[in-house]
Amino acid sequence: MDNNIKKQLITDTLDLNFMPYAVSVIVSRAIPAIDGLKPSHRKLLYTMYKMGLLKGTRTKSANVVGQTMKLNPHGDQAIYETMVRMTNGNEALLHPFVDSKGNFGKQYSKDMRYAASRYTEVKLEKICQEMFRDIDKNVVEFTDNYDGTVKEPALLPSAYPNILVNTSQGIAVGMASNLCSFNLSEVCDTTIALMKDPGIDVGDYLKGPDFPTGGILLYDKAELDEIYRTGRGGFKVRAKYSVDKKNKHIEITEIPYTTTSETIIDSIIGMIKNKQIKDIKDIRDETDLKGLKVTIDIRPGTDVEKLMNKLFLKTPLQEAFNCNFNILIDGNPMVLGVKQILEYWLEFRIKCIMNRLNYDLERNKERLHLLLGLDRILIDIDEAIRIIRNTEKEAEVVPNLMDAFRLDEVQANYIAEIKLRYLNREYILRRLDEIKELSDEIADIEITLGSKARIKKIITGELEEVKEKYSVARRTDIKHMDDVDDKSLVEHVPEYACRIFFTKENYLKKIPEEALKSEQEQKLKESDKVIQEISTHNKAELIMFSNKANAYKLRLYQLDEHKAGDFGEFLPVFLDLAEDETILYIVVTDDFKGHMLFGFENGKFARVPLNVYETKTNRKLLAKAFNDSSKIVYMNLVDETESYDMAVVTNERRALVFNTDCITLKTTRNTQGITIIKIKQGDYVIEARPLKTARLKDIEAYRPANIPAVGKKLTAADSKRRQISLFDI
């Protein structure tokens, strides 16, 4: 063994070698900033701006790619791919930044490849005027490029909240970002309303996401409110179709943003081959210059609505968009709700406006200073001409003017450079009028700089201008979930008996009962164990309660089948849970009969009917599924008539035994319930469980005459028992 080899802690190695790379990917590559752009997008757009492509004619894409390499050290192909996504030809953005000519492929097609950069041409779209508004007035900070030879903006001024107007996806190290797009007009209205009233409900102004590929948003208010509030959550988008009864075919013209026409066709062909669908004769891609079109030929007598519902269920014609509004704020990644994003954008935009005002103020003061010098020589302009004419050396002209008229060097230089042709009455009067105008302008700017209300009025005016110039009608239609026939979807689902296994480490698997006959032993991680095992069937509904007082709902057929040798679905990823959110308890039901019992650290217990969690949707997030004012310590589903004894233990080692019949039924999900055990301030319940599993010996010693009660100290026989939480079983 080599004695020169030194041992090093893996944590030190990660800090030294891995962390700098991870931070670089997060900050300098994958996560968008408050202007809605990643560094690669910003560098490319700024290069095009400096090339004069905002107002000029188109140039070859290869030319832009080459120039961008001064700011972006990546290869030409990576830069060109970045450009492709931003073009109006690709149709990936609701409001594209690049006006393109040539073949740039399509967002909705994976096979339609873009042409090489030497064949295509580009310039900046008009909306980029708003992204670069006043950038030459030092409104944003500039930094050195990678080799220190050129300056580039750290952010673009973005006169509208582009961060919410165009989609953005990115995968960094240990984190990701996924922002959906919203209608420009709605975003502007929401921002203006927020400036007027910080307490607004964003959902009153922002109807829902809007995608360049159109489709139909399945609107669920609770889901969207959660996304607006936390920046996390999901919603479903389905394809838009029309029926040609005469020619007996269905035409799909708009699809979910997250899929492609080829994926949809392959999925449907697979169903036909597996004989899952008998009503389709043929399917073909008829996309042309007019846009996307997938045509499905159907057999006579086909119930189109039932067929489409089956396709929505089994193919990418209906897909979920999972939101993760992870944004860089001052270099720090933050997951934000819509209102928080707009608040940070307003803060950023206010700084831009103030920088612009300070720039104008400085220029106006400089100009006024020159004109005030001119005003002084107008007292005796003939004397000024005489001094210049009689001065022997050119270098003495400025000092002589300074002495004669009490001017500083800047003023004297300005006057010395005035041409003789300008020494006429008209020119002089215009300059004197300009002094008054500049003085008024300076005073107005100084008042504005001291008034946030005036700055917000400027931002409001700019947003209204952007809305008027660039807003377009919604492309994604909205359909309320109440109008979606969920029952017709379930009709097409195969029915069979299955068993659900839920583990302590948040794995969930669904195994058909037939498969369990030959495979009994369940594969788990070394430290994991099954805490719930439920026999049910494939069409039942699943409710998953989390430690954040959320309930996640889905039907079991939406879960893939597993084998005993699989770990199953990892719920934090499958449900896109928050970083510190975990599932505590699951319920499987057909009829939503029964009651949920909840116990809390503060000694209160609640009973609510399970039917308060019943919805018409396929999958839904229910916020405030139970009261979150105190930590949950117990959760259980019971029959309406079922009752049993429970034991409660506090951190003071006080115990109380009671029957669940004492818990009053409430019909509100987040009810606080009733007090069962009285506890002092600072104390809390550490254990609540059915009496039969509580391992107490002196049971009757803890049963009070009335509820609520303070409980009794654990007896000597029970004081040595080990406390186990319900969720550790």
| Domain architecture of the chain: domains with CATH | 31-158 (3.90.199.10), 240-316 (3.30.1360.40), 344-468 (1.10.268.10), 493-590 (no CATH), 592-607+625-729 (2.120.10.90)
pLDDT tens-digit series, residues 98-155: 999 999 999 999 999 999 999 999 999 999 999 999 999 999 999 999 999 999 999 9
**CA count, 13 A, side-chain hemisphere, 325:** 25
Distance CA 571, CA 550 (A): 13
**CA count, 13 A, side-chain hemisphere, 498:** 26
**What pLDDT is recorded for position 617?**
55
**What pLDDT is recorded for position 420?**
78
Distance CA 715, CA 722 (A): 14
Let me know the angle formed at the C-alpha of 293 by 289 and 296, rounded to the nearest 5 degrees.
150
* Residue 64, SS3 per DSSP: helix
pLDDT tens-digit series, residues 652-692: 999 999 999 999 999 899 899 999 999 999 899 999 999 99
**What pLDDT is recorded for position 649?**
93
CA proximity to 257, closest of 160, 176, 169, 128 = 169
* Residue 373, SS3 per DSSP: helix
For residue 512, give Cα distances in angstroms to 71, 494, 501, 681: 57, 12, 11, 50
**What pLDDT is recorded for position 729?**
44
Structure tokens at 504: 């302590």
Q: Which residues of the chain have pLDDT under 70?
A: 1-3, 21, 25, 28, 482-492, 518-520, 616-619, 723-729
Q: What contacts 721, CB < 8 A, 6 or more positions away?
A: 695, 696, 714
Q: Which residues are catalytic?
A: 119
The count of other CB atoms within 10 Å of the CB of residue 406 is 10
Distance CA 179, CA 32 (A): 9
Tell me if the bond preceding 153 is cis, omega within 30° of 0: no
Distance CA 574, CA 567 (A): 13
Q: Which amino acid is at 259?
A: T
CA proximity to 95, closest of 176, 157, 170, 37 = 37
Q: Which amino acid is at 284?
A: R
H/E stretch holding 680: none
Contact 163, 32 (CB under 8 A): yes
**What pLDDT is recorded for position 326?**
94
* Residue 183, SS3 per DSSP: coil
Let me know the angle formed at the C-alpha of 190 by 171 and 161, rounded to the nearest 5 degrees.
40
Contact 255, 261 (CB under 8 A): yes
* Residue 588, SS3 per DSSP: strand
Contact 31, 25 (CB under 8 A): no
**What pLDDT is recorded for position 724?**
63
Instruction: For residue 619, give the DSSP letter.
Output: S
Distance CA 207, CA 187 (A): 10
**What pLDDT is recorded for position 727?**
59
